[in-house]
Amino acid sequence: MQTVQIDWAHVEVGQELEPLVKPAISKVQLLKYAGASGDFNLIHTDVETAREVGLPGTIAHGMLSMGFLGQYASQLAGTSAFVSELKVRFAGMVFPGDVLTCRAKVVKKEAGKIELQLGVEREPGKALTSGEATLTLL
């Protein structure tokens, strides 16, 4: 598993951090996420149902990409900090087969805290899910 972590002593405002690349979204992953989240809406697991409501096919749960950003922020925090705040906005659909990249940029650094601008993208520069996170030193 790929891991990333902030070097608190050397991180600078404006710095883009090492991205986290997630493996391609699979149908099995969507089925497992449906069970874990309790969201059994068939647009996430059944192609026919998804197409009946006007989608091109099944789509991933929005909260799955939010979970990826939470995982990424937590890895960036490492063992010496924690994610004290996480906010996201959904801007696009995620489909089975998509390889997603989580990106972060440092927007503020103060004593014991770092604020990040986050995004999950399929294509560079086009966030499907965007947000902010605050990491706080323990």
Tell me, what's the pLDDT at 4?
80
CA distances from 27 to 5, 11, 24, 41, 58 (A): 29, 38, 10, 14, 9
Q: Helix 27-37 vs helix 62-77: angle between axes, to the nearest 10 degrees?
A: 90
Task: State the pLDDT at residue 1.
Answer: 54
User: For each of the chain's 138 residues, which pLDDT tens digit applies?
Assistant: 566 889 888 999 999 999 999 999 999 999 999 999 999 999 999 999 999 999 999 999 999 999 999 999 999 999 999 999 999 999 999 999 999 999 999 999 999 999 999 999 999 999 999 999 999 999
The reported pLDDT for the residue numbered 12 is 96
* Tokens at 124, concatenated: 């560079």
* DSSP secondary structure string for all residues of 64-91: HHHHHHHHHHHHHHTTSEEEEEEEEEE-
pLDDT on residue 36: 95
Nearest to 32 by CA among 75, 96, 113, 114: 96
Write down the pLDDT at residue 107. Answer: 98
The per-residue pLDDT for 3 is 67
Q: What pLDDT shows up at residue 2?
A: 62
